[in-house]
Amino acid sequence: DQAEVARGAVSCNPLQLSPCASAITSSSKPSATCCAKLKEQRPCLCQYMRNPNLQKFIKSSGAKKVASSCRIPYPKC
């Protein structure tokens, strides 16, 4: 059952990245909350890239800029 997540495993939920939305879609800097959520959701990013509804955001130059600003390596999926 996916609802039952092993202790320490990340629960993949793209809504967790909502604090990053304005930084991804504009030239604003990502917030500390955005960076923390991005770091937390990093294991899920390749899964999000395969989602047709999310990939235009996750694969955008804005997302790469946010990852770089947060010092999080952009995933190579």
54 within domain boundaries = yes
Q: Determine the pLDDT at residue 12.
A: 94
pLDDT higher than threshold 80 for residue 42: yes
48 within domain boundaries = yes
Residues 48 and 37 sit within 8 Å (Cβ to Cβ): no
Structural domain span for residue 36: 14-69
Integer Cα distance of 14 and 77 in angstroms? 17
> What tokens appear for 51 in the block?
């989602």
Mean pLDDT confidence for 47-51: 95
Instruction: Say which CATH number the domain at 34 has.
Output: 1.10.110.10
| Residue 66 CB burial class (10 angstroms; 0-12, 13-18, ≥19) | buried
33 within domain boundaries = yes
Count up the domains in the chain and report the number.
1
**pLDDT greater at residue 64 or residue 3:** 64
pLDDT higher than threshold 60 for residue 7: no
Integer Cα distance of 74 and 49 in angstroms? 12
9 within domain boundaries = no
3 within domain boundaries = no
Residue type, 15: L
